[in-house]
Amino acid sequence: MFLSVQEWFVWGAGLLIMLFGLHFLGIFRLRFLDREARLDAGDRGGSALGAYLLGLAFAFGWTPCLGPILGAILGLAASEADVARGTALLATYALGLGVPFLLVAAFFPRLGGLMAAMRRHMGAIERVSGLLLWTVGLFMLTGQFSDFSWWLLETFPSLATLG
């Protein structure tokens, strides 16, 4: 059933990824992705339940940032014919999201200068991310994403061992 409409799904996912890329590029803004909600949790220590609730608040607050990327990854994972490969894509996304947070937590006192530099260049980082998203969406829309994947595997055969 899914394979009969897979081409339409990939085409739709490509359009959606391009739309998210245009948002990141600043061509137009999807207002629901720009919403922000903050809670003042105070500065005193809390409980495990408080940490859990703070984590939930953090996740909801970062939805505009993570949503388009997660949507792109879910689109790519769903368009894979092999469930294991789709799972590997999602696991790589989860590691890519989680490991930096763990490293920042471990080395937080030493990262003040780096964080300030990243904040100064956030506009450029967002535009580069948007261009990459738009390009991946275009490749999916035109069917060149598979061609590019094969080219990568032929050029860098060691990539075949990653997934």
Q: Residue 35: what pLDDT?
A: 80
109-161: per-residue pLDDT in tens?
A: 887 888 888 889 999 999 999 999 999 999 988 988 888 888 888 898 887 77
* CA separation for the pair 157, 140 (Å, rounded): 22
Residues listed for the chain: 163
C-alpha 124/C-alpha 25 separation (Å) is 9
Helix residue ranges per DSSP H, 26-143: 31-34, 48-61, 63-79, 83-107, 112-120, 122-142
Q: Is 78 in contact with 13 (CB distance < 8 Å)?
A: yes
- Of 26-40, 43-57, 102-116, 136-150, the range with the lowest mean pLDDT is 43-57
Ordered by start, the domain boundaries in the chain are 2-161
Task: Give me the chain's average pLDDT, please.
Answer: 82
Helix (H) or strand (E) holding 23: helix 2-25
Assess contact for 129 and 23: CB atoms under 8 A: no
Inform me whether the pLDDT recorded for 163 exceeds 60: no
Percentage of the chain with pLDDT > 70?
90
Is 128 within 8 Å of 13 (Cβ atoms)? no
